[in-house]
Amino acid sequence: MIRRFVKSSILFTLVLMSAVGNAAQEKCVLPNASGLFGLSLKMSPAQAKSILGKNLKIKNKRKGEYIFFQNYIEKPAPNSLVGVRAIYLRFFDGGLYQIEVFYENRNDWQTLADFVNSQSAKFDLPVSVWQTENNIARAVCSEVSLVADVILNPHLELSDETVRAVIEEKRKIY
């Protein structure tokens, strides 16, 4: 009974995400992370290593979930990540579903609006697709979301929302 409910919940969530994604798709199209150091959603850990270097150590977090986190507070970022203070990659079932980047502070990113305008230009997005609430800006384009804030440092998170919904449902079961 519980399994049937969980399966129904997952299916409902996926259908809902698809419907929301289709509505959002009319507003914007978000390229697959082309502006994030050559990383892209759905790439394998091996592909991420080819971009970020063979020393990339991806750790098993939970069944099917793998993570990579590195900060560059004590040491400078490699040339492939110039301007990055920290990076967090999340993988599920062999594919990258979330790229989270914390940037060094810059003079041209003093406010959230400055940062959002910069990211809009980088991703060729109209500024109007961003919704801002509680100093966090969010753009949802199809099944991909882009979240930005400047609370500690300029921070950008690119996520595959379909995979994130599956993971959240999976975590509820455990």
pLDDT digits (tens, 9 = 90+) for 17-51: 443 444 434 457 665 555 688 898 999 998 988 88
- Predicted local distance difference test score (pLDDT) of residue 32: 52
Report how far residue 164's alpha carbon sits from residue 174's, in angstroms, rounded to the nearest whole number.
Answer: 16
The answer to whether 69 and 87 have CB atoms below 8 angstroms apart is yes
Span 63-72, pLDDT tens digits? 788 999 989 9
The 3-state DSSP class for residue 109 equals: coil
By the 10 Å C-beta count (0-12 exposed, 13-18 middle, 19+ buried), 141 is classed as: buried
Structure pTM?
0.79
Instruction: Taking residues 42-62, report their average pLDDT.
Output: 84
The type of residue at 110 is: Q
The beta strands (E) that lie in 49-153 are given as 59-62, 65-71, 84-92, 95-103, 131-133, 136-141, 144-149
Cα–Cα distance measured from residue 107 to residue 39, given in angstroms and rounded to the nearest whole number: 25
